[in-house]
Amino acid sequence: MTDPIKTLAQNIKLIIFDIDGVLTDSRLYYDNQGQEYKAFNSKDGHGIRLLLENGIEIALITGRTSELVLARAKNLRLNPDLIYQGYRDKIPAFNDLLDKTGYTREQIAYVGDDVIDLPIMCQVGLSIAVNDAHWFVKEHANWITQQSGGKGAARDVCEFVLDAQGKLKALYQAYLDVDSQPA
């Protein structure tokens, strides 16, 4: 019998990630001068690179604004036109993404952790909550990650989608094939 959630994931062409609580552990760090710091997970980053290398686009929509988000996006080589910051109401950013990309709602997944994410989660083809998301968000998600935000949740998403699309095993097998490794 086919898993209906994996069937949804087979159609995904764009994944939207929230930042705080999804790509980070939701804690905000400040030094004595008010400088903000965030910790991103390198395994999440590698998963995102795998998605990009396999034709799945990535967008970021966050309610806060931070230069750190732009730095991380640049590091991951994300399309700067698909980065939206300062959107407490995330629907305008989502509508702009629909217009820019031409994807249907069914071709989009959204990964969130708090109630601010629900308006988009309720409109996409695959809604995903991180394991430590607010209980109400988890109730409205199609799928919940094994890992918590900032601690591998995004990697869970990447692997889930790549597996549903039949690409994950070959990607990981390539790391074991000595002949395919660069010299």
Q: DSSP code of 30?
A: E
The answer, yes or no, to whether residue 124 has pLDDT greater than 70, is: yes
142 burial (CB, 10 Å; 0-12 / 13-18 / 19+) is middle
pLDDT tens profile 2-37: 799 999 999 999 999 999 999 999 888 888 988 888
Q: What's the whole-number mean pLDDT along residues 33-55?
A: 93
pLDDT score of 29: 86
Q: Which CATH class is domain 12-180?
A: alpha beta
73: its two tokens: 């996006």
pTM: 0.93
Rounded CA gap, 63 and 87, in Å?
4
When pLDDT is cut at 50, 70 and 90, the band that residue 183 belongs to is low
Q: What's the whole-number mean pLDDT along residues 163-183?
A: 84
pLDDT score of 181: 56
The answer, yes or no, to whether residue 147 has pLDDT greater than 80, is: yes
When pLDDT is cut at 50, 70 and 90, the band that residue 182 belongs to is low
The answer, yes or no, to whether residue 94 has pLDDT greater than 60, is: yes
Residues with Cβ within 8 Å of residue 162, at least 6 apart in sequence: 50, 51, 54, 56, 168, 171
pLDDT score of 2: 73
Q: Return the percentage of the chain with pLDDT > 90, whole number.
A: 86
